[in-house]
Amino acid sequence: MTANTGPLVIVGGGVAGLATALSAAPRPVLLVGNSMAGSGGCTSLAQGGIAVALAPGDSALSHAEDTMAAGAGHNDPEAVDYLVAHAGPALRWLESQGVNFDLDRNGLQLGREGGHSHNRIVHAGGDASGLALLLALARAAQGSPHIAWRPPATLDAVLVRGGRVAAVRFTDTETGRPHETECADLVLATGGCGALFSATTNPPTADGNGLGLALALGVPLRDAEFVQFHPTALDIKTDGPLPLITEALRGAGARLVDDAGCPIMDARHPMGDLAPRDQVARCVWEHRQRGGNVWLDATELSRDWIWRFPTVHAIARRHGIDPRRERMPVTPAAHFHMGGIAVDLDGRTGVPGLHAVGEVACTGVHGANRLASNSLLEGVVFGRRLGRHLADSDRGLPRSGAERWIDRGASADQCNLRGLRELAWECLGPVRNGDRMAEAVDGIRTDSQVRDTWQGKVVVHLLQAAIHRRQSLGTHFRDDRPRPVRTRAAG
């Protein structure tokens, strides 16, 4: 960094944005989130932990193999190798930032989740790992002199001058007032797009707004068709996100069963209830499509139920279920986007000065299906890498060239957004059909109330990517095309 280095703005107060901001020291950072520090976003809802190969007999190579297997071999090998090689340092860095991970008599307590061949999931606060990470990193950021954390605001537009990022425009969440600031480097850490589906575990803010801005800027997306559906969201009536039931319960011995109490995964996959998420979600979906219910039976778990899974226990009791004695009704729900803004391993896009990290970005690390507990890890590992890269930047503000403000575009009203979300769930859910997806694209393009909204454009982009990929792969499963023969390497 030189004296002429221009301002750095990071949009997003989740784990990826915070890791980037903290690692960019001593470069001054303006950090902007759409909620108060330490709240909101998907990070605070994450019940899973951090995947790190620490157990006897485990290794980074095994972690990489499991990541590639879950991702159906579609992963970028270089990105996977970097992720698993830096998992241990990421864990130690988190501890240095104040994260207290759960311990047992052997040291760090290691759990197991779907797709993992070893116990390697490190948790903090039982099934409240995301919140524990978020609070620790938010405290660290608030105590860092190089980080200025402005009040909650939304990013509306980017000024491009001479083909480079030059400024940004925000709207203050509380007052509605616009605010502009110069910007030589902009990092989008805005999260995923699960809230564009009617059934989702994501909060309303995870609505693909970063993808919408990228499309307006002409930045390409990568692997947009790959959306992961968590197989065990609590099946309740709600207009908001469905409560997540962590996969760690199945790692501890809980079983997915039908109405008669018979396990549904034993004949489906060699790993049973701990098969990769695409397999489990599709099995649950198919049972429900045939008119049956699917239940998660955790009644046989050990006596430390409440201590290990306080979040799930509280959620279930809030809805009148005692999970220690009763089975919980579950359904798949949109959970994580493997695709996103196309970036290299340093988070760079094709627009100078524009970067992306975390779920909104796509390095190819997750392939066609994310391995459980690799998401928080990705945010930390690649956030730290991007932060260090930006700390050494000497990029100044562009002072000449044609300039243009580019905004995300018009937003859909609540009625049209509700219909768009239902359409996305029906046509881009765990099982897809080419004709239905093509009809959905035509329907959006002929609807003047939706086609010009940024949400409509994002959903069309997801649909077109899914239509273009004619063969089933990972989370992208088409019932109108033959599925390739699966191997262990293909997940």
Q: Of how many residues is the chain composed?
A: 491
Q: Strands 8-11 and 185-188: what pairing? A: parallel
The answer to whether the CB of 244 falls within 8 A of the CB of 491 is no
Pairing type for strands 328-337 and 295-297 reads antiparallel
* Active-site hit among 27, 250, 255, 277: 277
How many Å apart are CA 212 and CA 454, to the nearest integer? Answer: 6
Spatial distance between the Cα atoms of 184 and 350, rounded to a whole number of angstroms: 15
Instruction: Mark whether 282 is an active-site residue.
Output: no
The helix-helix angle for 375-391 and 87-96 (nearest 10°) equals 80
3-state secondary structure string across 354-383: EEECHHHEECCCCCCCCCCCCHHHHHHHHH
Q: At 209, list the tokens.
A: 């707004």
Distance of CA 71 to the CA centre of its chain: 15
Residue 219 · residue 350 · CB < 8 Å: yes
Using DSSP, state whether 449 is helix, strand or coil: coil
What is d(CA 68, CA 427) in angstroms, rounded to the nearest whole number? 27
What is the chain's Cα-based Rg? 22
Q: Give CA 400 to chain center in angstroms.
A: 37
Q: Alpha-carbon distance 351 to 335, whole Å?
A: 28
Query: CB-hemisphere CA count at 13 Å for 304?
Result: 8
Catalytic residue ranges: 277
